[in-house]
Amino acid sequence: MTLLHAQARLRDAATGELLGGAELAGRVSEAAKELADLPSGVLFLRVGLDLTSVLRYLGAFEAGRAVALLDPAQDREVLDGLVSRFRPAAVLGVDDEPAPGYTQDWVREDVDGVAPHPDLAVMLPTSGSTGNPKFVRLSRSAILANADAIAEVLGIDENEVAPTSLPLHYSYGMSVLNSHLRKGATVLLEGSGVVARPFWDAVTQYGVTSLAGVPYHYEMLRRLRFDPAKYPTLRTLTQAGGKLRTDLVSEFNDKMRAVGGQMFVMYGQTEAAPRMATVPADRLAEKIGSAGPALPGGAFAIRDEDGNEITEPGVAGEVVYRGPNVMMGYAESEAELALGDETGGVLVTGDLGYLDSDGFLYITGRLKRIGKVFGNRVNLDDLEQIVKGFGAAAAVPAGDKVVVFLDRAEKDTCKQAAKLLSETLHLHVTGFDVRPAEGFPQLPSGKIDYRSLEAQV
CA dihedral 410, 411, 415, 420 (to 10 degrees): 20
Binders of other proteins in range 51-110 (CB under 8 A): 73
Question: 196, 338, 443, 455: which one contacts other proteins (CB under 8 A)?
Answer: 196
* Binder of other proteins out of 1, 96, 197, 312 (CB under 8 A): 197
Say whether residue 428 binds other proteins (CB under 8 A). yes
Which among 178, 149, 171 is positioned nearest to 298, based on CA atoms? Answer: 149
Q: Shortest CA distance to 259 belongs to which of 238, 237, 235?
A: 235
The full length of the chain comes to: 457
Nearest-approach distance from CB 197 to other proteins, in angstroms:
5
Any contact of residue 315 with other proteins (CB under 8 A)? no
Q: What are the phi and psi torsion angles at 424 (to 5°)?
A: -70, -40
* Least CB distance to other proteins at residue 427 (A): 8
Question: Does the footprint of other proteins cover residue 202 (CB under 8 A)?
Answer: no
**In whole angstroms, what is the distance from residue 326 CA to residue 271 CA?**
6
Q: Toward other proteins, which CB reaches closer, 132 or 430? A: 430
Q: Which of 192, 233, 343, 413 binds other proteins (CB under 8 A)?
A: 192
Amino acid at 335: A
48 belongs to the binding site for other proteins (CB under 8 A): no
The window from 63-71, 141-149, 216-224, 283-291 that contacts other proteins (CB under 8 A) reads 216-224
- Residue 418 makes contact with other proteins by CB under 8 A: yes
Sheet strands side by side (includes 262-268): 210-213, 236-239, 262-268, 275-278
3-state helix, strand, coil in the chain (%, to 5): 35, 25, 40
Q: How far apart are CA 321 and CA 211, in angstroms?
A: 26
Binding letters toward other proteins, positions 143-182, x by CB under 8 A: ----------------------------------------
CA–CA distance, 371 with 224 (Å, rounded to integer):
26
* Residue whose CB is less far from other proteins, 155 or 193: 193
Closest distance to other proteins from the beta carbon of 430 (Å)? 5
Q: Which of 342, 415, 442, 456 binds other proteins (CB under 8 A)?
A: 415
Binding to other proteins (CB under 8 A): which residues in 378-407?
none
To the nearest whole angstrom, how small is the minimum distance from the Cβ of residue 201 to other proteins?
9
* Rounded CA separation 373/94 (Å): 26
Q: How far is the CB of 196 from other proteins (least distance, A)?
A: 6
- Shortest distance, CB of residue 426 to other proteins, whole angstroms? 8
Pairing of strands 329-331, 317-322: unpaired
251-290 binders of other proteins (CB under 8 A): none
State which H helix or E strand residue 164 sits in: none
> What is the DSSP pairing of strand 346-355 with strand 317-322?
antiparallel
Beta bridge pairs of residue 186 = 9, 161
State the minimum distance, in angstroms, from the CB of residue 220 to other proteins: 5
Distances in whole angstroms, Cα of residue 454 to Cα of each of 385, 396, 417, 441? 19, 6, 19, 11
Q: Which among 125-133, 218-226, 350-358, 385-393 is the span making contact with other proteins, rule CB under 8 A?
A: 218-226
Q: Which is nearer to other proteins, 241 or 431 (CB)?
A: 431
Among 299, 429, 443, 455, binds other proteins (CB under 8 A): 429
Rounded to a whole number of angstroms, the minimum distance from the CB of residue 72 to other proteins is 12
Selected range binding other proteins among 96-104, 124-132, 214-222, 262-270, rule: CB under 8 A: 214-222
* DSSP label at residue 126: P
Judge contact between 132 and 78, C-beta under 8 A.
yes
Select from 374, 380, 383, 437 the one that contacts other proteins (CB under 8 A): 374
| Of the residues 61, 86, 206, 216, which one makes contact with other proteins according to CB under 8 A | 216
How many Å apart are CA 150 and CA 155, to the nearest integer? Answer: 8
Give the residues across from 457 on adjacent strands: none
Residue 263: what are its φ and ψ, rounded to 5°?
A: -130, 135
Q: Tell which one of 6, 111, 224, 229 touches other proteins (CB under 8 A).
A: 224
411 binds other proteins (CB under 8 A): no
> β-strand 135-139 against 361-366: which pairing, if any?
unpaired
Q: In angstroms, how far is CA 240 from the centroid of its own chain?
A: 9
> Shortest gap between Cβ of 319 and other proteins (angstroms)?
28
Read off φ and ψ for residue 90, nearest 5 degrees. Answer: -160, 160
229 binds other proteins (CB under 8 A): no
Residues forming contacts to other proteins in the complex (CB under 8 A) are 73, 192-197, 199-200, 216, 219-220, 223-227, 374, 415, 418-419, 422, 426, 428-431
